[in-house]
Amino acid sequence: MTNLLWLYDLSDFWFCLIVVGATSFVGVAGLVPARILLKRYLYKTGHKNEVVSYFLAAIGVFYGITLGLIAIGSWEQFSDVQSNVSDEAAIAGSLYRDLSQFPEPARTRLHDELRQYIVATIEKSWPGMQRGENPREVTELLSRFTDHLGAFEPASAREQVLFAEVQRQLNRMTEMRRRRIEAIASNMPGAVWVMVYAGAFINIAICWLFMIDSFRLHALLVWKMSALIGLLLFVTLELDRPFRGDLSIGPDAFKLVHDDIMMAPDQVPRATARGDK
């Protein structure tokens, strides 16, 4: 599977075209020698298309159900990772707002460091994840923010409660981040892919066993079957790598938090002034 990672660097159009083209080529190219062997060994031995149809229907049902379940599982994993990314960004926004209640100079310093981390996540983490990497410098920014937050000493009961809440939010964000990093290398085991590819070949090979006088008609039917299997393989491949390819999870949630919360005018002084009154 790792040998196919270069496909994710292509656009969806070319990715789909290559996968569907490969399965179609196997189907149509294999039909030529298959028909020669059929005419030589099977056409005179009571060969019946009905028997082949029964086997194709049975094997096709089993393979279709299996591949469908795999595709659904890949989609559920993709959705879980996407939801995790959204939650991580939302927690980062909540954390930034909670830090607005910290006294100076801790508030400005922690705001700046959290903003730098979010910017680095957008500009460095995501390109790295699309290559299957986790940039170390982004982790260092989060570690620096965590160290400076841990060094803060609450001076009142209110600050103690606020500090505890901020620590809780940071722990949740760190947990979500760890799940996101783990999803970079998360994919189906090789044994599953062997079953998927072998099942695809078996279904295509069964289509070769039909007795059809017209080669063009036979080739057209095999091509349609092969193209459909190729489309299913393309969707499964795309969903298997949530951070790679055109159909990948982007940093939109983090950009929204950065633009709407972290770059918004600071409302804390006016809120504090109202509280003082």
Return the CA Rg of the chain.
Answer: 28
Residue 176: alpha-carbon gap to chain centroid: 15
Omega cis (within 30) before 105? yes
103 DSSP assignment: P
- pLDDT at 5 > cutoff 90: no
Question: Mean of the pLDDT values across residues 95-119?
Answer: 92
CA–CA separation, 137 and 28 (whole Å): 50
Instruction: Please answer whether residues 59 and 203 qualify as being in contact, where contact means their C-beta atoms are separated by less than 8 angstroms.
Output: yes
- pLDDT at 267 > cutoff 70: no
pLDDT the model gives residue 274? 36
CA–CA separation, 136 and 104 (whole Å): 30
Longest dimension (CA), the chain: 101
- pLDDT at 148 > cutoff 70: yes
Question: Would you place residue 219 in the very low, low, confident or very high pLDDT band (cuts 50, 70, 90)?
Answer: very high
- Tens digit of each residue's pLDDT (9 = 90 or more) over 191-215: 888 999 999 999 999 988 888 888 8
The structure's pTM equals: 0.79
Backbone angles phi, psi at 219, to 5 degrees: -65, -35
